[in-house]
Structure 1
């Protein structure tokens, strides 16, 4: 995994588009979001989120077909979309798929 996704599929002067896949039990490396972004969950799963110190921040249940929009402000991400509205996590974190099926999303970062 590089950056905030598994594979960068497109980039121009306005956006970066990522394909993102996590197998059951797999976790991302610790990473830092540097842009506001949105994502569409092609195959949802519950994601356990950890901060940069390894503290458990709880489970974010991502439904298949869910669309999420997040703003970045003062080192935190805040969910703006109806799904998860108001949830905040540090911009630096990692996630583990604690579900029984693969998780997949398309993520679009706004430059």
Structure 2
């Protein structure tokens, strides 16, 4: 399975830091989150999320400057932060930028 982000920029015994970017219309790779994590949206966009079978799980408006925090719970990730609080999606998924502008985030996984 592919990496969580577009490019791994740092890793130590506590965290892994990823750059993630999606051009309009671009899909992320199918990936599985194995650690709790957070991300900061450098450039926000509309992201459509799909499970590993390609089922549409919904579209989420990720604003520029938004911070998201997630926990793992029995094969699902749950949003802890105010933006999207309580939303759950499978830990294995992919996303598509369905907005009209590029999407960029920095994601930090906690080991």
Q: Tell me the TM-score normalized by structure 1.
A: 0.97
2:87 aligns with 87
How far did residue 73 of structure 1 move? 1.3
**Structure 2 CA distance for aligned equivalents of residues 4 and 36 of structure 1:** 12
**Structure 2 CA distance for aligned equivalents of residues 13 and 31 of structure 1:** 21
**Structure 1 CA distance for aligned equivalents of residues 5 and 29 of structure 2:** 10
How far did residue 29 of structure 1 move? 1.4
1:48 counterpart = 2:24: no
Deviations 1:5-59 (A, max 9, x none): 0000100000000000000000011110110000000000000000011100010
Aligned-pair RMSD on alpha carbons?
A: 0.6
1:8 aligns with 8
**Structure 2 CA distance for aligned equivalents of residues 5 and 31 of structure 1:** 9
Gaps of 5+ in 1: none
**Structure 2 CA distance for aligned equivalents of residues 10 and 30 of structure 1:** 21
Q: Please give the secondary structure, in 1, of the residue aligned with 2:20.
A: strand
| Number of equivalent positions | 110
Instruction: Spell out structure 1 runs of 4+ moving beyond 2 A.
Output: none
**Structure 1 CA distance for aligned equivalents of residues 80 and 44 of structure 2:** 19
How far did residue 60 of structure 1 move? 1.1
Q: Tell me the TM-score normalized by structure 2.
A: 0.97
